[in-house]
Amino acid sequence: MQDITRTEIASLGEFGLIELLTKNNETKQAGTLLSVGDDAAVIDQFGRQSVITTDLLVEGIHFDLMYTPLKHLGYKAVVVNLSDLCAMMATPTHITLSIAMSNKFSVEALEEFYEGVYAACDKFNVDLIGGDTTSSKLGFVISVTAIGEVAPDKYVTRAGAEKNNLICVSGDLGSAYLGLQLLEREKKIFLENPKIQPNLYNQKYLVGRLLKPEPRIDIVEWLAEAGVTPTAMIDVSDGLSSDLLHICKKSDVGCLVYEDKLPIHEDARTMAAEFQIGTAACALNGGEDYELLFTIRQEDYEKVARNNNISVIGYITGKNEGEKLLTKGGVYHNLTAQGWNAF
Amino acid sequence: MQDITRTEIASLGEFGLIELLTKNNETKQAGTLLSVGDDAAVIDQFGRQSVITTDLLVEGIHFDLMYTPLKHLGYKAVVVNLSDLCAMMATPTHITLSIAMSNKFSVEALEEFYEGVYAACDKFNVDLIGGDTTSSKLGFVISVTAIGEVAPDKYVTRAGAEKNNLICVSGDLGSAYLGLQLLEREKKIFLENPKIQPNLYNQKYLVGRLLKPEPRIDIVEWLAEAGVTPTAMIDVSDGLSSDLLHICKKSDVGCLVYEDKLPIHEDARTMAAEFQIGTAACALNGGEDYELLFTIRQEDYEKVARNNNISVIGYITGKNEGEKLLTKGGVYHNLTAQGWNAF
């Protein structure tokens, strides 16, 4: 018998795992400006800078085909990558798309999926330039790589937040999570009694936030036009807490977020009450909002305050002050990363 | 009951499917020089040209973990993409890597996989700049996107072959296929009787060709130094027949290949005899050789003839002459695409 050391992946978590696997990653190309560890990488190509990101979506982990229309799935697979480019202040230009699917899929089903892909490409002026199509005994797997461009050295990483910077977020938070809870509930009811058809007509907003997110290219464009350069930026995919902690860690700072400043949609409030979960918890830990979370210098406050799509939710503190949430009741809580724990 | 038309994917095949799904693909970016349909895409970035390719590898379809060491798998996942860049005459510079794996994998197993990835990155001077790590209920899935660069307009597509061009191939063909047959045989024996340990020591070459292919960067560099610009090029991943038919289709030409010119390794001949399969069939339909298949002008023959790693195996004919193989016995056969039929 061999004596083999076995460490469970769950014991490290996603970010611990990535850290371990990339600790020996050496940069050899002079053109590599930013490598593993941000929303996207940046490579210099004789003065022009390309921004590159990639995401892998797996059936049963990232989507449930029982309530995810294939057209929406195709659209979303593109959007989640464009959102990563937005988080670098880059303009998306190209994508590649690889899929693996079992023979349970018909050609018509795939055409529907591609309709969504092309709808996103058309809407955001992006070219689909390549990919791979293969079979799978295992389910549907989607891999998208997105490429964008940014003016030389104008990209924004997670690492630049400074003490007293203001913390901003676009749109609203927690709705996608509540949309997911709603669909999971209706799925359960349907599986228990297939005669009961789900009624989701009044929940178009929440369900739409989950199934058809939009990359905040509009915010990136507005920031550029307004002359506001965020000091750090990330997109909210894992949840506000988890993503804000990334900024704090990379920037070596702390933060204070005010519960009463969290932007929450009216439909989300209603549904959170129905599910008897706190709206703040949905906003902080829900994930999949694909909003932009960024920090700005105080001098940019006046400009940002004029944009109704941006909320200032707190400010950056010193590292030794930690990462805190001030509740409506005046109590300080530590922000903790929840979210990805799929193993 | 709804009346839904269902077309099976198998009825189209891989290439028919890709054609259908990309027929409405419109190019919107002025910088897109070459899109879907070649070994890689080419995008112009203010004069510099980037070459981009992507591959998705799925457990049970592209590899069998029972006889594929994880380090080799990591190495190969990078190599198959670099090979696509070579087939464009591009120099690889960067990759992204996404993986999905179940909790049957330990951290140590993943470290072994990444060792292979980094070994390939180091050997071929490529930076790993990003990726995605996720879980899967389904098995191990690997997605790699590779980026390379090429001097402006010096990339080579599948579309430039002209009548009377010579057809060349690097290295030898069919060995990877025979390595696969060998491993499959040993797996079967082992499953029937676990006490019998496989003895593969004398088959290092064949097994190595399957498990640890190399991208022919050396051939690309030699061609550039020798001043030979192929008129068309592709890498041999699906098998010589299938890949040569791609060149013929894209270039709107026919071809004639001589069976007795096919480069076949001595170990492959011996093993093919043992399996009682024709060596030509292995070379034509085997796949996974990752050699370069390209066409050159007749005036470049003298130069190419001096390189022992390149074989001239036939020539390009007019489209109406079809795609033919001339056997050792003097009989003409039609070349047919076998290979991918996984559905």
Q: pLDDT digit string (tens) for A50-98?
A: 999 999 999 999 999 999 999 999 999 999 999 999 999 999 999 999 9
- The dihedrals phi and psi of A96, each to the nearest 5 degrees, come to -115, 155
Q: Which member of A53, A59, A110 has the closest CB to residue B130?
A: A53
Cβ within 8 Å, pair B58-A135 = yes
Q: pLDDT digit string (tens) for A11-21?
A: 888 788 888 88
Q: pLDDT digit string (tens) for A109-119?
A: 999 999 999 99
pTM: 0.93
Instruction: Write out the two tokens for B207.
Output: 């097994």
Tell how many helices (H) and how many strands (E) occur in chain B: 10, 13
What ipTM does this complex have?
A: 0.91
* Whether A284 contacts A335, CB under 8 Å: yes
Q: Which member of A10, A18, A110 has the closest CB to residue B103?
A: A10
Which of chain B's residues have a Cβ under 8 Å away from the Cβ of A11? 107
Write the DSSP assignment of A234-281 as a string of letters. Answer: EE-SS-HHHHHHHHHHHHT-EEEEEGGGS---HHHHHHHHHHT--HHH
Helix (H) or strand (E) holding B247: helix B240-251
> What pLDDT sits at residue A14?
78
Which of chain A's residues have a Cβ under 8 Å away from the Cβ of B16? none
> What pLDDT sits at residue B234?
98
Q: Return all residues near B225 (Cβ < 8 A) that are at least 6 apart.
A: none
Q: What's the CA gap between A36 and B133, in Å, rounded?
A: 12
Q: Which of A81, A135, A140, A340 to substitute to test the interface with B, most B CBs within 10 Å?
A: A135
Cβ within 8 Å, pair B107-A17 = yes
Cβ within 8 Å, pair A106-B50 = no
Helix (H) or strand (E) holding A91: strand A91-101
3-state secondary structure A270-322: HHHHHHCCCHHHHHHHCCCCCCEEEEECHHHHHHHHCCCCEEEEEEEECHHHC
Describe the crossing of helices A266-275 and A204-211 by its angle, rounded to 10 degrees. Answer: 100
Tell me the H-state helices in chain A: 13-22, 70-86, 107-123, 175-192, 204-211, 217-226, 240-251, 266-275, 279-285, 301-305
Q: What's the CA gap between A139 and A144, in Å, rounded?
A: 17
Q: Which of B127, B137, B158, B341 to substitute to test the interface with A, most A CBs within 10 Å?
A: B127
Q: What's the CA gap between B88 and B50, in Å, rounded?
A: 11
A343: pLDDT confidence band, cut at 50, 70 and 90?
very low
B337: pLDDT confidence band, cut at 50, 70 and 90?
confident
Q: Cα separations (Å) of A202 from A133, A175, A208, A228, A286? A: 38, 14, 11, 37, 21
Q: What's the CA gap between B196 and B184, in Å, rounded?
A: 14
Which of chain B's residues have a Cβ under 8 Å away from the Cβ of A342? 134-135
Q: Which domains does chain A have, with CATH numbers?
A: 30-150 (3.30.1330.10), 166-334 (3.90.650.10)
Q: pLDDT digit string (tens) for A199-245?
A: 777 889 999 999 999 999 999 999 999 999 999 999 999 999 999 99
Q: Which member of B31, B61, B127 has the closest CB to residue A136?
A: B61
> What pLDDT sits at residue A259?
97
Average per-residue pLDDT in chain A? 92
Which of chain B's residues have a Cβ under 8 Å away from the Cβ of A128? 22, 25, 35-36
Q: Which member of B56, B60, B122 has the closest CB to residue A138?
A: B60
Please give the residue of chain A at the shortest CA–CA distance from B15: A133
B76 CB-contact burial (10 Å; exposed 0-12 / middle 13-18 / buried 19+): buried
Q: Which member of A131, A133, A138 has the closest CB to residue B138?
A: A138
> What pLDDT sits at residue A320?
97
Q: Which member of B108, B128, B138 has the closest CB to residue A139?
A: B138
Q: Which of A62, A145, A149, A150 to substitute to test the interface with B, most B CBs within 10 Å?
A: A145
Q: Which member of A14, A29, A106 has the closest CB to residue B6?
A: A106
Distance from the A156 Cα atom to the nearest Cα atom in chain B, whole angstroms: 16
A260: pLDDT confidence band, cut at 50, 70 and 90?
very high
Cβ within 8 Å, pair B141-A14 = no
Cβ within 8 Å, pair B21-A114 = yes
Cβ within 8 Å, pair A134-B61 = yes
Q: pLDDT digit string (tens) for B294-325?
A: 999 999 999 999 999 999 999 999 999 999 99
pLDDT at A122 over 90: yes
Q: Return all residues near A297 (Cβ < 8 A) that are at least 6 apart.
A: A162, A165, A166, A231
Q: What's the CA gap between B284 and B273, in Å, rounded?
A: 16
CA angle, corner A102, sides to A99 and A107, nearest 5? 75
Helix (H) or strand (E) holding B168: strand B166-170
Please give the residue of chain B at the shortest CA–CA distance from A139: B138
B277 CB-contact burial (10 Å; exposed 0-12 / middle 13-18 / buried 19+): middle
Cβ within 8 Å, pair B9-A106 = yes
Cβ within 8 Å, pair A130-B343 = no
Q: pLDDT digit string (tens) for B33-74?
A: 999 989 999 998 777 799 999 999 999 999 999 999 999 999
pLDDT at B340 over 80: no
> What pLDDT sits at residue A341?
40
Distance from the B332 Cα atom to the nearest Cα atom in chain A, whole angstroms: 33
Placement of tokens 């197993």 in the chain:
B109
Write the DSSP assignment of B178-228 as a string of letters. Answer: HHHHHHHHHHHHHHH-TTS----GGGHHHHHHHHS----HHHHHHHHHHT-
Cβ within 8 Å, pair B143-A54 = yes
